[in-house]
Chain A
Amino acid sequence: MTHSQSPIFLQEVYKNYGKVRALQGVNLEVQPGEIFGFLGPNGSGKTTTIRCMLDLIRPASGTLRVLGLDPQKSPTEVRARCGYLPGELHLDESVSVADSLRLLNRLRSPQADWKIITAMAERLDLNLKLPIKSLSKGNKQKIGIVQALMHHPTLLLMDEPTSGLDPLIQQEVYQLLREAQQDGSTVFFSSHILSEVQEIAGRVAIIRRGKIIEIAETNALINRSFRRIRIAFKSPCEVDPIKSVPGVTVENSDGSSAITLRVEGEMDGLIKALAAYPVRDLEIVKPTLEEIFLAYYQNGNGEA
C-alpha cells in the first residue's frame, strides 16, 4: 500500500480563512483498521481538517487523500465510504428521529438495513418515535452516531463523538467504535476529552494552531513523557541534592519526610541520587494524556 492509499493521507495541507491560517502544513497518515485520536483545543484546526477530508471545504494547497481518493475530484465516492459525525450536529427539527434517519439513509446507495438502525438505536437508548425538537443535545448526538455508523463505513470521521453524552452511553459508543474497528473500519475522531482518546485510540496526533506537533502511539506518548514520583522517607532528610538532579523538579514537599517529583527524561540520575536516602516507599505515576497535552502547551512544544 502506498502512502496515498492509506485511509487518510495529508501532506503539507494549508487552509486559510481570510487572514486566519487554520491549517499550516498538516502532515498526517492514518493506517487501515486503526482508531486514531485527533487532539487539540478549540480553534486548533481539528474540524477544519475533517471538513477538508469530505470536501465540505477546500484546502488552499497540499495533498489530501481519503481512502486513496482525492475528495475534490471524487467527493461522492469518498462520502459513500465514509461515516461522518459533525462537531456541531444540526438536524431538521420538524421530523421524528426515524424520519430523520430515513432521509439520511435514502441519500445512500445501497441503503442501510433498517434492522441495523433500530438495533443501534436500542443500544444507545434512542427512541425513534420522538420528534427531534423534543430531544436533548445528548439524544441528538445519538442520532448523529447512528447515521455515521449505520452503513458500515470503511472510514469513520467523528468530530467530538461523545459530546453531550452521559458516561454510560459514552461507554456504549466506545464499544461501537471498537466493533467497527473489528469489522475492518478505520476510525478517526477528534476530541479534546483526553480520557476518551486514552481509552480507545491506538495512536494519537496533537494539533495546535493548525500544525501537527506530535503523532505517536497513545501508550508510547504516555510512557515517554514525564513521570510523577512520590517518595516517602523513613525519617526527615535534606532533599536539596535531589532537586539538583537534571530533569527533576519538586512538585510538592511534605516537610522533609515525603516529596512528589516530576521527572523528565532518564530516571538514572534520580535513582542514583535516591540510593543515599532511607526510602520507605516509592510510587511512580504515569501522567494522564491530559497532563501530557497540557505539558505540550505549557512548554510550547511544536512551535514554529
Chain B
Amino acid sequence: MKTILNDTLRRSRYLILGWGIGFGLLALYIILFYDSLAEQQVLLDQLIQAFPRELIAFFGNIEFFTTPEGYLTMELFSYLPIILGILAVGQGAAVISAAEENGTLDILLAHPLPRRSFFLGRFAGMALNLAGIVFLIWLGCVIALNWSSIPLTAIELGRPFLSLWAFLTAFAAFATFLSQLLPSQAGASLTAAFILVVSYILNSMANIDDRLADVVKFSPYTYFQGGDALRGLNLNWLLGLIGAIILFGGLALWRFQQRDLRIGGEGGWETLVSLLSLRKTKSIS
C-alpha cells in the first residue's frame, strides 16, 4: 500500500501544486482586498440590496457581505466547493478506473499486491491530494491574515477548509464508487458532477424558496459548512461527511474486489458513447 500511495502522490504532485498554489494566491489576494471593501461598507450594502434575490441566493447569506464571514463566504466558499468539486469527482472516478482504462492496472495487479492494498493506496492518495490542495489555499489565507484586519486565527480559518476537504472527499469517494458500478470513468465523473451541480443549485434555490427546505436535507451540499464554520464547526455534519467517505470508499473497495478487471482500452469515453447510442461492444481477447 505504501508503494502505491507514494507513487500516487508522486504522480499528482503537479496537480496539487498547480491547483493549490493557484487558488492559494487567489485566496491571498481576496483576503488582502477585504480592508478596501470594508471601507466602502455603506455603498456595498446598498449595491447588494439592489441585486436580484435569485442572484444573491447563489452566494449564500451575503447580506453580511462586509463582515469577514460574509465576505469569505461570497468571495471564496461560495464557489470553491463547486470548482474543486468538479476536480474531486474527476480524481475520485480515476482512483481505480484511470489505471484500468489506460491499461497499467494489469501489470500492477499481476504482482503480489492485494487489490485491497492497491485500492487503499490509491484512495488515500486521492484524499491526500485534495487535502494538499485545500491546505495550500488555507495557507494562502493564513499568510494574508498578517496584512489584513480580519480578526480570525489560523485555526478558526481552518474550520471551513476542514469542512471543504470532507465535502470534496465525500464526493470523490462517491465518484470512486460509481466508477466501480458504471462501465467507464467518464460515466462516473459525469454522473457525480451532475449530482454535485444539482445539489449546489438546489441549496441555492432553497435560500429563496422555503418549500425546498425539506428537500435540501438530502442534498450533500447542505452539509458543507463554508463561512458558517468560522463561527464554529458543526461536528455532526463533519462526521457525517467523513462517514460518507468511509461508506462510499468501502462500497467501492468491496465492488473492486468482486469484479473482473477491464482490459486496457476498455471503458473510456468510447464505452460511454457506445452505451448511450445503444451500440453493442465486445470484450473478448
Contacts from A to B (Cβ < 8 Å) = 17-18, 20, 22, 42-43, 45-48, 51, 54, 56-58, 75-77, 79-80, 82, 84, 86-92, 94, 103-104, 106-109, 144, 147
Q: Which of A47, A76, A82, A90 contacts B285 (CB 8 A)?
A: A47
- For residue B110, CB closer than 8 A to chain A, the reply is yes
User: Is there contact, CB below 8 Å, between B11 and A103?
Assistant: no
CB distance from B259 to the nearest CB of A (A): 8
CB distance from A262 to the nearest CB of B (A): 33
Q: How many residues of B contact A (CB 8 A)?
A: 25
Q: How far is the CA of A20 from the CA of B11 in the complex (A)?
A: 37
- For residue B109, CB closer than 8 A to chain A, the reply is yes
Q: How far is the CA of A56 from the CA of B111 in the complex (A)?
A: 11
User: Is there contact, CB below 8 Å, between B11 and A92?
Assistant: yes
Q: How far is the CA of A47 from the CA of B111 in the complex (A)?
A: 17
Dominant SS among interface residues on chain B: loop
Comparing B99-107, B139-147, B155-163, the segment that makes contact with chain A is B99-107
Residues from chain A with Cβ under 8 Å of B260 in the complex? 56-58
User: Is there contact, CB below 8 Å, between A104 and B107?
Assistant: yes
Residues from chain A with Cβ under 8 Å of B108 in the complex? 104, 107
User: Is there contact, CB below 8 Å, between A88 and B113?
Assistant: no
Known: A79-B111, A107-B112. 19 other contacts (CB 8 A): A20-B283, A42-B285, A43-B285, A46-B285, A56-B106, A56-B109, A57-B261, A76-B112, A77-B112, A79-B110, A79-B113, A80-B112, A82-B110, A84-B110, A86-B264, A88-B263, A94-B11, A107-B3, A107-B113
| Minimal Cβ-Cβ distance residue in B for A87 | B285
Contacts from B to A (Cβ < 8 Å) = 3, 7, 11, 102-104, 106-115, 260-261, 263-265, 282-285
Q: 10 closest pairs, A vs B, by CB? A: A90-B103, A80-B112, A84-B110, A107-B111, A57-B260, A47-B285, A76-B112, A79-B112, A106-B3, A56-B261
User: Is there contact, CB below 8 Å, between B110 and A103?
Assistant: no
Chain A CB within 10 Å — which of B106, B260, B284 has the most?
Answer: B284
29 contacts between A and B (CB under 8 A): A17-B282, A17-B283, A17-B284, A20-B282, A20-B284, A47-B285, A51-B106, A56-B106, A75-B114, A75-B115, A82-B110, A86-B103, A86-B106, A87-B285, A88-B263, A88-B264, A89-B103, A89-B107, A90-B103, A90-B104, A94-B11, A103-B3, A103-B7, A104-B107, A106-B3, A107-B108, A108-B112, A109-B112, A147-B107
